[in-house]
A = this chain, B = another copy of it.
Amino acid sequence: MSKVVLAFSGGLDTTVCVPLLKEEYGYNEVVAVTVDVGQPKTGLKEAEKTAKKLGVEYHQVNAKKEFVEDYIKPLIKANGDYEGYLLGHAIARPLIAEKIYEVAKKEKADALAHGCTGKGNDQFRFEATFKHLTQEMDIIAPIRDMNLTREEEIDYARKNDIPITTEGKEEWSIDENLWSRSIEGGKLENPSFEPPEEVFEWTNSPKKTPDEPSKIKIRFEEGEPVCLNNKELDLIEIIKKLNQKAGKHGVGRVDMIEDRILGLKARENYEHPAATVLQEAHKDLENLTLTRNQLNFKSNIENEWSDLVYKGLVVDPLFEDLNSFINSSQKNVNGEVKLKLHKGSIKVISRKSENAIYNQNLVSFDEKKLDQKHAKGAIKFHGIQSRNLKNKKGD
């Protein structure tokens, strides 16, 4: 009796994995598990239905709370951004993998399986966490290890009467969670193909957005969003509301070229209205409350943090080190930021903070508190080494 637990989304890849795990890998029992990290309810139901049709044991694990607390909050504080990608899916993978492992442990399974292909990033992210958690269970990746194309999978599904929803029409490969929606594949693989409006679901086309702008106000405490328009809300609620509000104004689309872990460049499209708004607001508040030294150095921390998350390497002790820095840096990131959403654009229009490193008395051209003559001494030494190099006797 051998048992495997499969990370199951109900899409083509993971659906095909079920019979493959039995027939090609010889597992007696396949347990399909969907981890709920905020993807749409319809998708979750669809997954459950498909699992039932496939006749396997099926679980759904609600990880939304952990997702927001343990992953999205650090992401916001870190201004997580990899080449312009806000890490929406990357950030969910380690948690999904952990939840899959927990089921497997409870089920006393012999193996863990995922449906990732061998060209993408998720195989790295899943397996880094799987291998970190267990050295006893086998790790199986049928699509990759059998080198299957989408077409071959569809063929196989048809021949074996596997319930797949695509039926040829599903041109795009979609992934969703609370934070982000990604669209890739098909004609979009071509970097010069303009994405048609139909691929977007979370954001309105600028043409369909309201003619009047909306203003929103977000309050942060220690770098975490706590109020939306003066109303104290749970972060899950803030994100849901912002996805709706900002999506209505067409805010949060990204069309980009991305360097995958293996070194392949790929064209990617994302939608994430709340993520765009929160990052814009958080950065602006940091500009007001962090010292120049902090801002300048934190950008290195952010790059490294984002690189680790992109690679799924949150198990590296460096990840915890970086988070220690980030948490320390957020102590003064308290205050509120007002933004205007309009026709796909987002602008910060005002901000204030009880910890602002800002002193109107010092900076104003109308104030004399700071004697301007002091600057003369500072300038005396500005660029002095370059002058010294040129003029051996000068200063």
For residue A358, which residues in chain B have a CB less than 8 angstroms away from its CB?
A: 191, 257, 265, 267, 388
Residues of B within 8 A of A124 (CB): 378-379, 382
Which residues in B have their C-beta under 8 angstroms from that of A388?
A: 357-359, 362
User: Which residues of chain B have C-beta atoms less than 8 A from A257's C-beta?
Assistant: 284, 287-288, 351, 358
Q: A257-B358, A332-B317 are in contact. Are A291 and B385 (CB under 8 A)?
A: yes
- A266 neighbours in B (Cβ, 8 Å): 363
**A284 and B262 within 8 A (CB):** no
* Complex: A192 Cα to B217 Cα, angstroms: 12
Give Cα A257 to B376, complex, Å.
Answer: 24
The residues in A between 29 and 80 inclusive whose CB is less than 8 angstroms from any CB of B are: none
State the Cβ distance, A240 to closest chain B Cβ, in Å. 23
**In this assembly, does A384 line the interface, its C-beta being within 8 Å of a C-beta of chain B?**
yes
Q: How extensive is the interface on chain A, given as a class?
A: 35 or more
A311 touches B382 (CB 8 A): yes
Beta-carbon contacts of A271-311 to B below 8 Å, as 1s and 0s?
A: 00000000000001001111111111111110110011001
Listed stretches A1-9, A19-27, A143-151; interface member? A143-151
Inter-subunit contact B359/A392 (CB<8 Å): yes
Indicate if the CB atoms of A288 and B118 lie closer than 8 Å: no
- Per-position contact with B for A255-269: 1 when CB-CB < 8 Å, else 0? 111111011111100
A-B contact pairs, 5 of them (CB 8 A): A119-B362, A127-B382, A144-B376, A147-B368, A362-B388
Which residues on A are within 8 Å of B, measured CB to CB?
83-84, 117-119, 123-124, 127-128, 131-132, 135, 141, 143-145, 147-151, 173, 185, 189-195, 206, 213, 250, 253, 255-260, 262-267, 284, 287-301, 303-304, 307-308, 311-313, 315-318, 320-325, 327-329, 331-332, 338, 342-345, 347-352, 355-395
